[in-house]
Amino acid sequence: MHYKFYISKSTQHFGDLDLLDMLKDFRKNNHLNQVTGMLFYRAGHFLQVIEGEKHIIETLYSKIARDSRHIEIRTLLEGDIGNRMFGHWDMAYKKIEDIEEEVVTDVDQIIDTYKKIDFLEEGIILKVIKGFYYKA
Ligand SMILES: Cc1cc2nc3c(=O)[nH]c(=O)nc-3n(C[C@H](O)[C@H](O)[C@H](O)COP(=O)(O)O)c2cc1C
């Protein structure tokens, strides 16, 4: 099992209804491909985990990377895992208001720094993934 966690900048404003509409399509595809994960949208940025069979994740990621709805996509963390972190969700989504404040602070820090520095501390990235996971 493989996962990728990336950040990107949206090319247009997405309201909550737009996101839910997009998620309908993502979830349908993901269900078919046994892809699970989570999506954050904050201050014009997406942060997403996708997880599943490695070749499926690689194919999906290259599709996502070409999607004109966002730019400046950068993988923050990826790797092999024994068990899915988001096994119950075809693509979990939470409004940022429903995320613990501490995690939102970490998300903001990632958004502020990811373009300026080459290396982001793994701890903060994992905290964001887990922050979503535990409260989901
Ligand atoms: C932020 C973002 C997240 C996306 N997440 C997914 C996803 O989880 N699953 C998915 O199938 N497509 C996702 N997409 C859409 C893909 O880029 C692509 O449009 C979709 O896989 C359909 O591709 P196809 O028509 O070539 O099959 C995402 C797009 C964006 C902009």
Q: What is the CATH number of the domain that holds 74?
A: 3.30.70.100
* pLDDT of res. 135: 53
Confirm or reject: Cβ of 38 under 6 Å from ligand 1: no
Rg of the chain taking only CA atoms, in angstroms: 14
Both tokens assigned to 19: 């996101």
**In a 3-state reduction of DSSP, which class is residue 85?**
coil
Q: List the residue whose alpha carbon is closest to atom 3 of ligand 1.
A: 64
Q: Which of 38, 47, 36 is nearest to 109 (CA)?
A: 47
Total domain count, the chain: 1
Q: pTM here? A: 0.94
Look up tokens 């979503």; give the residue: 132
How far is the C-alpha of 43 from the C-alpha of 123, rounded, in Å? Answer: 22
How far is the C-alpha of 62 from the C-alpha of 46, rounded, in Å? Answer: 16
* pLDDT of res. 73: 95
Ranges in the chain, pLDDT < 70: 134-136
Full residue range of the structural domain in which residue 35 is found: 2-135
